[in-house]
Chains A and B, each alone.
Chain A
């Protein structure tokens, strides 16, 4: 009889016996037991029949064309591996990123254009050439409130100094004005720094270079001769060639105010204000006590000059005497 407690191990032994997995001694032992126990023999026979049944089960054939499908699948994967970045995920991420960039650009571009327009209208300086439609003067530089159709801006033929400007004086009394100008050049001790005047056609050109203080004093001395001029305009140049502001009907006080500015930026900013102010109404020729804009007082303290600054050649003024 079979002990039920031994069933698991007996099943395993019978299974191993069936498959020839037992040692010779064990095999003979089971063989003897089966020979003496009809119940055990029946169990072994049932196991054998079950195994034979499974072995006899028909073999399923693989679908036709499987080999071709496998090779095609491999080919697809190989192709995909050649372009690892063009996976659905990464391609989607790239498209999403591109869409975000385009959207951001679409939002920022009108804002930028609007900001440029506002800057052009309200800002202290128009934008440099090329920033916004090539500038108002067709690329010649920064010109504010210059009359339409006016002559091109004069450019100083001397190296740029801290103050660099071209003063055009229209006068039909050239001789008297020349005499006065040469006198004040001499009295302010600038004759050694200034080359002889040049004469071309109806224009006399004086290049005056020297310390700001002396140039300022020269301008002071010119007040007396200002009444000889029919008109005056000043073109102030910045450190860049394209930076220039033209002030029509400029006054001596305005020029001195510009001369006193401590930086290029502030000088250009002030010049732009003068240009706008003068464009509003006639200021020139100023009588004594005429409207003179106050000299700008800059926030941030007083200008600190070194002891030798008084003699530093930092101003360049080209004066053009022209017959109207």
Chain B
């Protein structure tokens, strides 16, 4: 089994120092925190809302809110989860206003290159292909199928799945970021995985 790549443990201390400097109005500390987290925040938001422009705007809004509210950050949670809570809340509100991708759109007839990619993906998920997942998702078509399948999940399930399997957050961090119980995270995650499995099966 693969353990999600974690980066947060190594930078908690640095974050605390930078946050403290931010609270004193140090612009360079703000800049460093933005640069440190902008890609991760953008990636998570993009995976959830699946629109580059929206993701860029929401990322910007996330950091603006972080700086505006840095005074109120008391360190009860890590800066990392606090920042992601802002991002997820903004994205979740954005998703609620947006029209969801209709389920049938994913079942539209596939073009030949898409059909070929779907075949490779099906073989991989069935354990019949020896493809390395990293190599597999380099195929743009496969990446698109995965993202579109993800988009068909309910918002709360998609968010948990993205935070866990793509961002690599622990259950506790997800619970803190979403302000829900740990059991809720577990049930949402298992339902999300099962639903995605069914969607992918139906697509490929």
B38 adjacent to A16 (CB under 8 Å) = no
Instruction: Kindly provide the distance from the CB of B66 to the nearest chain A CB, expressed in whole angstroms.
Output: 9
**Closest chain B residue to A16, Cβ basis:** B186
B190 adjacent to A69 (CB under 8 Å) = no
Chain B residues with CB below 8 A from A54, complex form: 146, 150, 161, 165-166
Say whether B125 faces chain A, with CB atoms less than 8 Å apart: yes
User: Could you say which of B43, B64, B194 has the most chain A C-beta atoms within 10 Å of its C-beta?
Assistant: B194
Chain A residues with CB below 8 A from B156, complex form: none
B194 adjacent to A77 (CB under 8 Å) = no
Contacts A11-B191, A47-B197, A55-B165: A60 and B46 contacting too (C-beta < 8 A)? yes
Which of under 10, 10 to 19, 20 to 34, or 35 or more describes the interface residues of B?
35 or more
Contact for B171 among A21, A45, A53, A77, CB less than 8 A: A21
A67 adjacent to B166 (CB under 8 Å) = no
Contact for A74 among B46, B67, B166, B197, CB less than 8 A: B67
Q: Which of A42-63 contact B (CB under 8 A)?
A: 42, 45-63
Bound CA span A57–B143, Å: 7
**Quick check: which of B12-20, B94-102, B107-115, B132-140 contacts chain A, the rest being far away?**
B132-140
Contacts A57-B47, A62-B41, A62-B42: A45 and B127 contacting too (C-beta < 8 A)? yes
Instruction: Kindly provide the distance from the CB of A186 to the nearest chain B CB, expressed in whole angstroms.
Output: 98
Say whether B31 faces chain A, with CB atoms less than 8 Å apart: yes
Residues 9-52 of A, flagged 1 when their CB comes within 8 A of B and 0 if not, give: 00110111011110000000000000000000010011111111
B64 adjacent to A70 (CB under 8 Å) = yes
Bound CA span A61–B147, Å: 16
Residues 108-139 of A, flagged 1 when their CB comes within 8 A of B and 0 if not, give: 00000000000000000000000000000000
A56 adjacent to B134 (CB under 8 Å) = yes
Say whether A73 faces chain B, with CB atoms less than 8 Å apart: yes
A42 adjacent to B127 (CB under 8 Å) = yes
Contacts A12-B186, A15-B186, A61-B39: A53 and B136 contacting too (C-beta < 8 A)? yes
A70 adjacent to B137 (CB under 8 Å) = no
Contact for B193 among A45, A51, A57, CB less than 8 A: A51
Q: Is the interface of A mostly helix, strand, loop or mixed?
A: helix
Instruction: Kindly provide the distance from the CB of A154 to the nearest chain B CB, expressed in whole angstroms.
Output: 80
Say whether A106 faces chain B, with CB atoms less than 8 Å apart: no
**Closest chain B residue to A10, Cβ basis:** B190
Chain B residues with CB below 8 A from A8, complex form: 190-191
**Closest chain B residue to A49, Cβ basis:** B125
Bound CA span A16–B170, Å: 11
Chain B residues with CB below 8 A from A60, complex form: 39, 42-43, 46-47, 52, 55
Bound CA span A26–B34, Å: 41
Contacts A11-B193, A49-B127: A56 and B39 contacting too (C-beta < 8 A)? no
- How many A-B pairs fall under 8 Å by CB? 129
A57 adjacent to B166 (CB under 8 Å) = yes
Bound CA span A9–B68, Å: 43
A67 adjacent to B64 (CB under 8 Å) = no
A51 adjacent to B34 (CB under 8 Å) = no
Say whether A104 faces chain B, with CB atoms less than 8 Å apart: no
A53 adjacent to B133 (CB under 8 Å) = yes
A46 adjacent to B56 (CB under 8 Å) = no
Say whether A294 faces chain B, with CB atoms less than 8 Å apart: no
A67 adjacent to B67 (CB under 8 Å) = no
User: Could you say which of B34, B55, B68 has the most chain A C-beta atoms within 10 Å of its C-beta?
Assistant: B34
Instruction: Kindly provide the distance from the CB of A253 to the nearest chain B CB, expressed in whole angstroms.
Output: 89
Bound CA span A42–B125, Å: 10
Say whether B118 faces chain A, with CB atoms less than 8 Å apart: no
Q: Which of B10-58 contact A (CB under 8 A)?
A: 27, 30-31, 34-35, 38-43, 46-47, 52, 55-56
Contacts A12-B186, A46-B125: A73 and B64 contacting too (C-beta < 8 A)? yes
Contacts A21-B171, A50-B125, A55-B4: A70 and B34 contacting too (C-beta < 8 A)? yes
Say whether A71 faces chain B, with CB atoms less than 8 Å apart: yes
Contact for B60 among A16, A20, A47, A69, CB less than 8 A: A69
9 A-B contact pairs sorted by A residue (CB < 8 Å): A11-B193, A15-B189, A15-B190, A21-B171, A42-B127, A46-B126, A49-B133, A56-B137, A62-B43
Q: Shortest 8 CB-CB distances between A and B: which pairs?
A: A62-B42, A12-B190, A15-B190, A56-B133, A54-B165, A62-B38, A56-B134, A70-B63
